[in-house]
Structure 1
Amino acid sequence: MKHIALLLAGCALSATALAQTNGPSGTPSSADYGTGTTDSRNNGFGIKGGFTASNFRGDDKKNYGNEAIYNTFHAGVYAQFGFNDKFSLQPEVLYSRQGFKASNPANTSQTGTYTTRLDYVQVPVLLVYNFLDNVSLHVGPQVSLLTKVKEGSKERKIADENNTYGYSYSSLDYGLAAGVEARVGPARVGGRYTAGFADIIKDPANTAAQSIDNIKNGMFQVYIGLGIAN
């Protein structure tokens, strides 16, 4: 968590520095509303993507060995709907590859250190607050649908109907996302941390599986975006 806090602080400082530099001549700001209209840079849509540092957390994290960050990526689209010059709502649809690196206890079906890859379709809905002209805080809930699981080099089904592994994966995750973003011209750059609240693993069928099922997603994202209509 200390590393995450430092990364968020670095993104905030970078965002502030970017926003305070002079952009292209005539670059609109978040406060540019026409009289009697909602025409502002707080409205529009665009594309985004970037780097993800993914891991896991929870009471059973201590039962895994050789834990490490899984470095991967995410990409998708966003829309933004402005309420006024300070507040807006930003829903997104993202493809997010995440997961973790670790080794399970020796008495489970998977042994040794390997990467658990989890592919999600994420839908965050974020409240955006412009605390500076072109720098904003983002916070809001997120719902994610699990579409694919790979343990090491082997792809496996999300549900374990035949009790092959002794556990299944939760197809739905939900959580909270928070971060900071800066905008220069049509471009954006930002950082975000997302904490999942649902257990990644469910339906443990034996004692070994029960020792590793209380874990949840956690990830830090750094991204760039390009506004198409704002």
Structure 2
Amino acid sequence: MNKIILLVFTVLITCFTLNAQESKYGIRIGANLSSLNSDNITGDLDQSRIGVVVGFLADYRLTNKLRIQPELQYSGQGNKDRDLRVNYLQLPILLKYNITDVFNVQLGPQAGIKIWEWEDNQAGTTDFGTFDFAGVIGVGANITDNFFVDLRYALGFANVFDEGAGVNIDGTSRNIQLSVGYRL
């Protein structure tokens, strides 16, 4: 996990030091429809949580069609059950391929660090781990030169539950994210 985090931060630092001709910065805000995937939790995991996502982005041109977009975002995730709610500070690093001037596809890794979880869990079995790691795929559309919309799907690869808490629970996160944004 430390190697993954080091790789993500190395890519981020490289992105910020690029001497790109067309660098843009902006903000995104939207909604998540998130859930957890686990065979170890009893109850209804099909009830997804609707959460908010808000963040900052940098958009760097690599070629005429290819861009890299590192972001720093807050994301409310988990399930509808309050004991299964968790919020992350995430760092997605997306490669964007512009199919046309309007439409693009996005792909990349996303590292997350837990910043909040529901504290009043009765069972004591849903302690979340500190880190999450996911793969992100998405599509985007430029409404104007500055305004855009994104639709993304993130599939977690790491166990989101704390393995050191003495409880043997495995589970991964997944979410669909719809957002609007503004680039300066």
Which amino acid in structure 1 is aligned with residue 110 of structure 2? Q
Point out where structure 1 has 5 or more consecutive residues left out of the alignment.
1-36, 103-113, 157-163
User: TM-score w.r.t. structure 2 length?
Assistant: 0.80
Which aligned segments of 4 or more residues in structure 1 are displaced greater than 6 angstroms? none
Equivalent residue number for residue 32 of structure 2: 52
Equivalent residue number for residue 214 of structure 1: 170
Q: Of 194, 198, 217, which aligns to 2:158? A: 198
> Relative to structure 1, is the Cα distance of residues 166 and 220 closer, same or farther in structure 2, using a 3 angstrom cutoff?
closer
> Relative to structure 1, is the Cα distance of residues 65 and 129 closer, same or farther in structure 2, using a 3 angstrom cutoff?
same
Deviations 1:72-120 (A, max 9, x none): 1110110011011100110000011111135xxxxxxxxxxx4522110
Distance 1:166 1:218 in 2: 20
CA drift of 1:169 comes to 2.0
SS of the counterpart of 2:40? helix
CA contact 2:20–2:60 (8 Å) conserved in 1: no
CA contact 2:83–2:121 (8 Å) conserved in 1: no
Distance 1:66 1:135 in 2: 34
- CA-based RMSD: 2.3
Distance 1:195 1:66 in 2: 16
Point out where structure 2 has 5 or more consecutive residues left out of the alignment.
1-18
Q: Of 177, 180, 183, which aligns to 1:224? A: 180
CA contact 1:149–1:155 (8 Å) conserved in 2: no
Taking the TM superposition and a 5 Å limit, the aligned residue runs for 1:4-15 are: none
CA contact 1:96–1:120 (8 Å) conserved in 2: yes
Q: Which structure has the bigger radius of gyration?
A: 1
Equivalent residue number for residue 111 of structure 1: none
CA drift of 1:165 comes to 2.5
SS of the counterpart of 2:157? strand
Equivalent residue number for residue 29 of structure 1: none
Query: Structure 1 vs Structure 2: percent identity of aligned residues?
Result: 25
- Give the aligned length: 164
> Relative to structure 1, is the Cα distance of residues 127 and 73 closer, same or farther in structure 2, using a 3 angstrom cutoff?
same
User: TM-score w.r.t. structure 1 length?
Assistant: 0.65
SS of the counterpart of 2:64? coil
> Relative to structure 1, is the Cα distance of residues 54 and 167 closer, same or farther in structure 2, using a 3 angstrom cutoff?
closer
SS of the counterpart of 1:68? coil
Equivalent residue number for residue 7 of structure 2: none
Q: Of 133, 140, 154, which aligns to 1:174? A: 133
